[in-house]
Chains A and B, each alone.
Chain A
């Protein structure tokens, strides 16, 4: 019953490559319903493009054969999916209970001051995006932030400064993957 997306109807699929579609098909085999394959498929697409634009969401829905709104619901619900472009280093600071009790609030202000941006924004040089996320599941080492795929734990203002300097100094070909610090 999925209505074919206008994008793919008019100009053909533009984002999901043949390989990615094959991968998505593989993923669906792991789950009892195709709806369950939405999250891994979105991760796959995000890995490729850094963020999920509307067209990508439409194509994922079409590739999975599920209603577009299901994909859209998931992409907008989870903080690990970006629906807008992000910088080379995506800083995700946890402000849930454990981290908040250990001063995550002031760390957020510190980050905003140091980067010169508010939460949800990207620095002018495209290097950093600052997001606030829900629990990262690392309460024992709170306060915590995640940059790309790496966890930075038991943070302090000084520690954050040091991390930012290290990242700035990292050669550009480090890519968005963000090798472990």
Chain B
């Protein structure tokens, strides 16, 4: 390992590091604009200049690899002068409009100028002005402020995989933008806002709504897909102002998807802020007491065994606490009719390994082959797709896809559209089987598109066979992965919110309600079902948005969204994470477990818990995985057992469907969001007209 002397201090660092990284290890701050640890090195801002013996000129530390015996200084008059000069150059064309700039208060250029810059410039001429670019409904531009660090260009090219941004022109005429004026067609474009060290790229929905120093930060997790991205919710008063990513190397690194970042305005619209009771065919505002009385009265009116007449469906955004509480109520009625698989995915609760992303997201980086089955990770879990792309760019990683053909931002081999191809690989009559045999650390990702079909259980079993046959599972790794789309799904499976003995699944519940065999259906935030089946039944909807479920309900109980409660979610890797309350639920809405506890009392049941802690203890008794927070199944002390799951059987030949039609509107929050509607108009609708599906 090279020894390097920085400011007379000798340290030993790994070879391959840059001088800048070595300085960071030594605890010395080097100002920078263009350098970013997750992007390639470009070395064009000149802010990180240091003095190095025997070079007579300062060197750019971000681009200089360490070598044994290097002597570096970061605090000499030469370095100070170089920093001052670099800033003077950068500020020649940078407008001093900080008071009206959204970046003000959290701007690298502002901060670094304060720390290292001179107090005046020698530049007397006019500053240049640059035309605004239209990057779509999410990213606002003020390109006059751009200092050409090219972080956004490198991000879109390297991480997002859409080569649309570029730096055109030369010298003073350089402009950063897209080739033709167009929105950046990436589901991760919002990250460019975080990367921009100045106010050139800022958030359009957040524009001029708050200042950085007014906001209260709450560290929590995202629930709009099953990745469980770590986020920071910034709020002012009782309003969510914006959502930013939080660093978690194992999950989202430091990126989040545009849905995660920009759906928050949906939290302010279409909210259920008081209970409603249906009277004469119309929902009317009611008190909690009236709502509970209506439910208790209807259930009391059920003749015979109540458990056989009551069913419950847990939605995609439900937290584990509410699922546990609802399950307790169902158990008290001895009802086996409950399910969490709204889309009808044939997930098997028998073995935890059978419904988890066992490899873990960071584990993707150690795989050498990935078979995607009925899944579009770019839309279903953009951050997992980003990780697959990252692995792809490292080299020697083959990806193959069985399912609908899509653009994943990296090259893959298209094998076929449906189960036939799986059978061919299993029988080794497909060429790809050879590649899979040759791979040392193969993995497969099974999507909901392959499971949410009549033969889903057979597909699940076939995928398990694939994992076995091609040595994907060993004592220290598991290459079998199910990619979920719903944040609530794994938690609900872990808590056993699935049909009990003789119980009905979602399709069965809908049929039962339609035929009158079921009289009461409890929807815990379940909106992704065909509610027309529920008409004859008495429907209770508990949730936070007036979406499909609430419209079909006879009683509406207002709950809390993910930013408004301390709750537990399990991501697709089986990682148990907790969200934190950032703002309070609106009006009379309450955290969901409290609603269910009050309901159980109104029903004359005795809840086994009085506090959130007791409820969580109950969850741990249900399943010990809840005792260990923030650990993926792959890294748990108690390994997930590889057991039998799925039901071997005949698969039909129909192709796996693409299960997400509109990335921006997969949940009630997205559907209530104006920003997501604008994204739909920009990115989804034009695409529809090309394919002619709009007539």
Contacts and interface: CB of A to CB of B under 8 A. Distances in A.
Contact of B163 (A67, A78, A79): A67
Interface stretch (B165-173, B394-402, B553-561, B574-582): B165-173
Main SS class of interface, B: loop
A68 B179 contact: yes
A68 B170 CA distance: 18
Interface in B462-509: none
A111 to B, nearest CB: 21
Nearest to B167: A73
Interface residues of B, number: 15
Given A1-B409, A67-B163, A77 B178 contact: no
Contact of A70 (B166, B170, B180): B166
A77 B170 contact: yes
Contact of A76 (B161, B170, B178, B409): B170
Given A1-B163, A77-B170, A69 B409 contact: no
A151 interface: no
A76 B167 CA distance: 9
B684 to A, nearest CB: 16
A51 interface: no
Contact of A1 (B161, B166, B168, B178): B161
Tell which of A2, A66, A69, A76 has the most Cβ of chain B within 10 Å. A69
Contacts of A76: 168-170
B525 to A, nearest CB: 37
A77 B168 CA distance: 6
Given A72-B179, A76-B169, A67 B407 contact: no
B157 to A, nearest CB: 8
Contacts of A72: 166, 168, 179
Interface string B143-171: 00000000000000000011111111110
Given A1-B407, A1-B409, A70 B163 contact: yes
Interface in A63-111: 66-70, 72-73, 76-79
Contacts of B179: 68-69, 72
Nearest to B179: A69
Contacts of A79: 170
Contacts of A1: 161-163, 407, 409
Nearest to B174: A77
Contact of A77 (B163, B164, B169, B407): B169
Interface residues of A, number: 13
Interface in B91-143: none
Contacts, number: 34
Nearest to B169: A76
A157 B47 CA distance: 43
Tell which of B163, B167, B178 has the most Cβ of chain A within 10 Å. B163
A28 B569 CA distance: 51
Interface in A105-154: none
A69 B407 contact: no
Contact of A69 (B161, B164, B169): B164
Nearest to A66: B163
Contacts of A68: 179-180
Contacts of B170: 76-79
B151 to A, nearest CB: 16
Contacts of A66: 163
B161 A67 contact: no
A57 B180 CA distance: 12
Interface string B627-649: 00000000000000000000000
Contacts of B407: 1
A76 B175 CA distance: 10
A68 B157 CA distance: 12
27 contacts: A1-B161, A1-B162, A1-B163, A1-B407, A1-B409, A66-B163, A67-B164, A68-B179, A68-B180, A69-B164, A69-B165, A69-B168, A69-B178, A70-B166, A72-B168, A72-B179, A73-B166, A73-B167, A73-B168, A76-B168, A76-B169, A76-B170, A77-B168, A77-B169, A77-B170, A78-B170, A79-B170
CB-CB nearest 8 A-B residue pairs: A67-B163, A69-B166, A69-B179, A76-B168, A73-B166, A72-B179, A77-B170, A68-B179
Given A1-B407, A68-B180, A70-B163, 8 more contacts: A1-B409, A66-B163, A69-B164, A69-B165, A70-B166, A72-B166, A72-B168, A78-B170
